[in-house]
Chains A and B, each alone.
Chain A
Amino acid sequence: MSAHAATAHTAHEHHETGFVRTYIFSTDHKMIARQFLFLGLFMMILGGLLALIVRWQLAWPETAIPGMGRILRETGGILEPSTYNMAFTMHATIMIFFVIMPILAGAFGNFCIPLMIGARDMAFPFLNMLSFWTTFTAGLIMLSGFFVEGGHAAAGWTSYAPLSAVAQYTGVNWGQNLWCISLFVMGVGSMMGSINYITTIVNMRAPGMHLFRMPLVVWSLFITAILLLLALPVLTSAVAMLLFDRTLGTSWFAPSGGGEPLLWQHLFWYFGHPEVYILILPAMGIASEILPVFARKPIFGYHAMAFSMIAIAFLSWVVYGHHMFVSGMSPALGMAFTVTTMIIAVPSAIKTFNWLGTLWGGRIQFTVPMLNAIAFVSMFVIGGLSGIFMASTPVDIYIQDTYFIVAHIHYVVFGGSIFGAFAAIYYWFPKMFGRMTNGVLGHLHFWGTFIFFNATFFPMHIIGVGGQMRRIYNPMQYEFLQHQQHWNVFITYSALLLGVSQIPFVINFFWSLFAGPKAPLNPWNANTLEWTAPSPPPHLNWGDRIPTVYRGPYEYSDPDAREDFLPQNQPPVGAGARRH
């Protein structure tokens, strides 16, 4: 559908929309973005609380958790091993599928893509609405699992078969089934979204918006959508097979009926590794977007940034075996996966150096979105470097399934994706809701999160190197771990403070939503097209005419320009104007 046709079509409907069509079953990409954001933030509270009860158990094993006495009635607030397994399983499941994906791909994908390429809406607005409500339904199904007999899924977010395939091994019956059904539904919703993103980016760019004039966040979302389109159906199929094993008596994964446990791992990680990049690529795009704005400088190596993301996307299909080095998979295959895993570190290194290059010689303004973007870069460096330990197969033998891995994934998905998400929320909040956030609360939130994030997750490297396994209920059951129990206590205190540090964010978010100062059109003096639309943009984003694009998105501090920024849609004036 061309941009013109979309205009005619949706403009016709515009006048008839009532409350339900505007706020609930809306087809406006900005409203859907807000819905995804609220879904993600709500689920983040739940996922965070689950993490805190896991941490409490690890620091003070088998003591009553404050406030849990009313929920865990039989034990008086003490977490039992089966409940503990459920808690970490659901922490990871919720954070990955219902927090990071809805916020980064769902909310900012929806918000940024049309506004930044100069489209009036998504290519398929109805499909877009359906995608949100499908994801929402999947979330409800996932939550319902907490209330069924036998508890929720407790086989880890990776749900390795046969543990997950046979109910008697965990004692969980409908919990695991609902887990499968929920992820199946989520997979369908995600597919609708990704088709929409790809189509919109390919077909609906404003005049002059060449592929290599697109903002890098749009590039990152484009590549993420391609990964989602190709990776999630593998998970969708795998959970369907798992559900059939559990309910219909098929035997894909349980060897008792001729199934193969490693088949699950191959399917899961064939999805799972691209998934890691689905979680991190949008955050990379967000950092690439925010660093130039607040360094007042063009991004360093635009083409290298775009091509390294493409390289990461290609390579992400051929590295998944590094999750399976000691799984019983052929060791020769393990060697091959080492090679590809080492290769994928190169584009990540390129990106890091280019971010540093962007800061070099800039005029750096330490706004709250900028601080979060810088934190993203520095935390991603740690998460990337610790990944090299795992890429070396002999070293991985030792650190596989220890807290070193837990530290690594949290540096990537919390230090990376969540700081990226916070950066994006602070950066686009004025455009999304038409109001500015509070700087003092923003700084408080940032510094608390940054300090206690590191205090929580950095020591996990140490206890992991000491050998502490992941997913154990009580480290004190093991003699070789007892000498480092003080770290577990320290980590839990830090985690609790990390939780407390989110309070200023919640206050800031809701206070600004209703009472923040009205946002100007372009509060950050940024170049990209979304800042040319009113704050918040109306239905169809721009008035009569969509903007025309004359240059790349990062023309900051051009010596020939009067100001230190040059919006993409500003027509070139005089001979001095440059084209890029």
Chain B
Amino acid sequence: MLDWWLPENVSTYGREIDWLFHLIYAITGVTFILVAAALIAFLIMYRDRPGRRARYTHGNTTLEIVWTIVPALILVVLTALSAPAWSKIKMSMPPSDVVVEVTAKQFNWQVKYPNSDQVFLDEMHVPVNKVVHVHLKSQDVIHSFFVPQFRMKQDAVPGREIKQWFEVVKPGKYEWPCAELCGFGHSGMRGWIYVHSPEDYKKWAAENLTAKAKAAETAKPADAAKPADTKPGGKAKK
């Protein structure tokens, strides 16, 4: 039931997060139903009635060992299942196709591409099915880069550059809120990430990234957005 409410996932690693979410949801759901059923059953069966005397027992070692070991085993398994996904998402980075530099400030996302001077405000453009590296910084307080449909979240910490990645499998326009309280304008600090098909991204880059973009973009595989070698000095959207 709870999972009906998850927004659509459009990233590669988002599937693993959603799978773990559903697994934990199933485990905790079943546990809750069993515990609640036992609780309600006991409350009805053992309610105070005339002539009833409570059972005089101080515990049961076997039972107690069982209900220590069973949850422990389940939790060990959950930890083991969580580790690979975590390692994939946060601890190792696949080689990048596109690099985006994001510097958060009160209350905007400033987006810059290597070898381009253009700064985009609250707007990022990336190609679909490509590994995008985000170099995340903040110039004032802590912000948090959150894209619900990518299942991605990372705090931007002043004084640090944090490298993150994502790969989106579906073109579209995705909302990009700040998830960490950053001041009175926190609410409404929001950008949009435009995920383009390779052709559209190529077109966008040609129009918006300056000539310096060429060097960086040519490092990419052939089918990636071949950048704007024909239109140096294309104008930015904003």
Q: Which residues of A does B touch, CB under 8 Å?
A: 80-82, 84-85, 154-156, 160, 162-163, 169-171, 254-256, 260-262, 295-302, 304, 326-328, 331-332, 334-335, 338-339, 342-343, 345-346, 349-350, 352-354, 356-357, 359-366, 374, 377-378, 381-382, 385-386, 388-389, 391-395, 397-398, 400-402, 461-463, 465-467, 469-474, 477-480, 484, 554, 556-559, 564, 580
Contact = CB atoms under 8 A, between A and B. Distances in A.
Contact of A473 (B32, B64, B146, B187): B187
16 contacts: A170-B183, A256-B158, A302-B59, A328-B155, A342-B76, A353-B64, A361-B46, A363-B47, A364-B47, A378-B36, A378-B39, A395-B82, A397-B17, A397-B89, A471-B181, A557-B56
Given A339-B79, A461-B2, A349 B71 contact: yes
Contact count band on B? 35 or more
A465 B188 contact: no
B230 interface: no
Contact of A388 (B28, B146, B179): B28
Given A162-B158, A295-B46, A564-B54, A401 B180 contact: yes
A467 B106 contact: no
Contact of A364 (B48, B67, B91): B48
Contacts of A356: 35, 38-39, 42
Contact of B59 (A304, A378, A557): A304
Contact of A394 (B31, B89, B158): B89
B157 A261 contact: yes
B65 to A, nearest CB: 10
A402 B180 CA distance: 10
Contacts of A170: 183-184
Most-contacted residue by chain B among A301, A350, A366 (CB, 10 A): A301
Interface stretch (B113-121, B136-144, B195-203, B204-212): B136-144
A66 B5 CA distance: 32
Interface in B143-182: 144, 146, 148-149, 151-155, 157-160, 162, 175, 177-182
Interface in B56-102: 56-60, 63-64, 67-68, 71-72, 75-76, 78-79, 81-83, 85-87, 89-91
Contacts of A339: 79
A295 B54 contact: yes
A354 B59 CA distance: 8
Given A296-B54, A466-B6, A564-B53, 10 more contacts: A160-B141, A261-B158, A295-B46, A326-B153, A326-B155, A356-B38, A393-B90, A402-B179, A471-B181, A559-B56
Nearest to B136: A328
Contacts of B149: 480
A54 B177 CA distance: 20
A79 to B, nearest CB: 11
Nearest to A464: B5
A388 to B, nearest CB: 6
A302 B152 CA distance: 45
Nearest to A155: B181
Contacts of A559: 53, 56
A388 B86 CA distance: 15
Interface in B20-50: 20-21, 24-25, 27-28, 31-32, 35-36, 38-39, 42-43, 46-49
Contacts of A360: 42, 46, 55
B238 interface: no
Contact of B67 (A342, A350, A363, A480): A350
Interface of B: 2-3, 5-7, 13, 16-17, 20-21, 24-25, 27-28, 31-32, 35-36, 38-39, 42-43, 46-49, 52-60, 63-64, 67-68, 71-72, 75-76, 78-79, 81-83, 85-87, 89-91, 106, 140-142, 144, 146, 148-149, 151-155, 157-160, 162, 175, 177-188, 190
B21 A395 contact: yes
Given A163-B182, A395-B17, A381 B64 contact: no
A386 B35 contact: no
Nearest to B144: A401
A385 B28 contact: yes
Contacts of A484: 5
B20 A392 contact: yes
B123 to A, nearest CB: 15
A474 B187 contact: yes
A465 B157 CA distance: 25
Nearest to A559: B56
B141 to A, nearest CB: 4
Contact of B36 (A163, A169, A381, A580): A381
Given A81-B185, A169-B141, A255-B159, A469 B179 contact: yes
A180 B149 CA distance: 38
Contacts of A345: 71, 75
Contact of B46 (A332, A359, A374): A359
Contacts of A255: 158-159
Contact of A462 (B2, B52, B71): B2
A473 B89 contact: no
Nearest to B161: A328
Contacts of B72: 343, 346
